[in-house]
Structure 1
Amino acid sequence: MLTGTRLAVWGDPIAHSRSPQLHAAAYRVLGLDWEYGRRRVGEDRFDPELAGLDATWRGLSLTMPLKHAAARAAQVLDRHAQATGAVNTLLLGEERHGFNTDVGGLVRSLREQGVEEAPAARILGAGATATSALVALADLGARRVEVVARRPEAVTALIALGESLGVAVIPAGFDDPSPGRVQVTIATLPGGTDLGAGADRLAAAGGVLVDVVYGHWPTPLAHAWERAGGVAFSGHGMLLHQALLQVRVFVCGEPGTALPEETTVLAAMRRALVGD
């Protein structure tokens, strides 16, 4: 049994993070006496805090506003981190390896809900989370993704990313979304955002909704999907599965290798999330 190994989630704010509960549940099942804590770290303190870690540190989970700083600090980036320019998982050692498990977590969450492919999709919002959402949709076979944003210029970077992924990104405003039907809508808007009648227009042709917020459920968007007879899910699935992929990184060294007793590990993490 490995002992004396330290891990933590960093960000600002950080008190709301459920990562400690999720990771602790996983390591109990795996029989690993690993310490996983949390630390409030702002972007201006990230580099010196990282430099101050000793050899007992195995890795870090990163939340906002540290994901881009973590990408800059990594010597090696996985495919998803390269595409998004964001790292939410740092594996420490002789080299720092950076991963973006948000992408894989979103893909796994959608597949858990029966979405195996999404040739046409829609993203609401054009912030940092939208970048991970676009890469996840590309992994699900998307060829056309409409990005609905308040400012058309905010979609420019996503259009360029889409071109590199073989995905046509179509910008739209909240008052004029395309009437075309999509298989999936991923909402990356702040929790509690109310789009009024626009939400009903989006829900009518929006397929399955994943609203990535973790609290305040059901959201106004989820209510709109319910009125339209659609299906809506919160961001809990993404949170759960990205954490499982982080555990894979910390235990196995990369996110593509399954854990020992992974079904039992995932069940324990799910119970920890629901019971929080």
Structure 2
Amino acid sequence: MSRIRAAVLGSPIEHSLSPVLHRAAYQELGLADWSYDRFEVDEAALPRFMAGLGAEWAGLSLTMPLKRAIIPLLDGISDTAASVEAVNTVVLTEDGRRVGDNTDIPGIVAALHERGIDTVPSAAVLGAGATASSALAALARICSGEVTAYVRSAGRAAEMRQWGERLGVEVRTADWSAAAGALTAPLVIATTPAGTTDALAAAVPQAPGTLFDVLYDPWPTALAAAWDERGGTLVGGLDLLVHQAVLQVGQMTGRPGPLAAMRAAGERALAAR
């Protein structure tokens, strides 16, 4: 029986949960001839890795720092990926084409939809990195009003306003020193590294709206724990990871990704860390 291969690439890659999620999907779907691995690949090594892929390869997941570096090596990318200039999914088609997509954006929307959040009148974004631009692209689909981005520098503020113009989102920027003000928004998306929002935990209001914190390890963050304690709706990084992986499985295998099985596998893996 010939093997059909898929993998996640990035650097560092050792702690990626993608193999756990995709292998759980293959098991649930009965895809015994599919395998999913992880490879430590940086930007310099990416062209050689891509050149070495054979016909047995069906798809790739891309994490940092490869989401933009992969684009010149592909035959085409989706409108969704082009909107943020970032690819996290590559499908290798039977006719030999390599096509990129971004499942982070619809993954954010799907994770919110699962919690009953379909539309919001306004939102706040904490941070201004690559994940923040994906958050803005997701908000373009569900937010009817203004998005306030809390950032640390004038340069980052300008970048977020430019992303807003490109994505059709009304973006106002504010200095990070005022980030406690974000917590009264109906939807807050925290895209910052671990520890960055810990100081905001004490400022969570008594009746908060929805917090989407993209971290999953460690979990909960101090902000997420305070949010949950005050009765707010909480969406975590594992929710995003699972939903975007569900979409990847669907694209790579042609079969709907099994959400429940993949989430359970991710929860078990995190609990074992």
Q: Which residue number in structure 2 is paired with residue 269 of structure 1? A: 262
Q: Which residue number in structure 2 is paired with residue 233 of structure 1? A: 235
Partners of 2:115 and 2:22 in 1: CA distance: 23
The runs of 5 or more residues in structure 1 that have no matched partner are 253-258
| Superposed counterparts of 1:189-208, under 5 Å | 189-196=192-199, 198-201=200-203, 203=205, 207-208=209-210
Letter aligned with residue 11 of structure 1: G
The Cα shift of 1:164 comes to 2.7
Partners of 2:209 and 2:41 in 1: CA distance: 38
1:69 aligns with 2:69: yes
In structure 2, the CA distance between the partners of 1:266 and 1:71, relative to structure 1 (3 Å rule), is same
Question: For 1:187, which of 181, 186, 190 is the aligned residue?
Answer: 190
Name which of structure 1's ranges 237-246 and 140-149 shifts more when overlaid on structure 2.
Answer: 140-149
Q: Deviations over 1:19-57 (max 9, x none)?
A: 111111111222221111111001111111111111111
The Cα shift of 1:77 comes to 1.2
Q: Which TM-score applies when normalising by structure 2?
A: 0.89
The runs of 5 or more residues in structure 2 that have no matched partner are none
In structure 2, the CA distance between the partners of 1:87 and 1:241, relative to structure 1 (3 Å rule), is same
Partners of 2:165 and 2:208 in 1: CA distance: 23
Q: Which residue number in structure 2 is paired with residue 223 of structure 1? A: 225
Q: Deviations over 1:160-182 (max 9, x none)?
A: 22123321111111222457942
Matched position secondary structure for 1:48: helix
Partners of 1:155 and 1:136 in 2: CA distance: 19
The Cα shift of 1:206 comes to 5.8
Q: How many residues align?
A: 265
1:10 aligns with 2:9: yes
User: What percentage of residue pairs aligned between the two structures are identical?
Assistant: 44
The Cα shift of 1:238 comes to 0.4
CA contact (8 A) 1:124 1:149 kept: yes
Name which of structure 1's ranges 152-161 and 238-247 shifts more when overlaid on structure 2.
Answer: 152-161
In structure 2, the CA distance between the partners of 1:76 and 1:64, relative to structure 1 (3 Å rule), is same
In structure 2, the CA distance between the partners of 1:164 and 1:114, relative to structure 1 (3 Å rule), is same
Letter aligned with residue 7 of structure 1: A
Q: CA RMSD in A?
A: 2.1
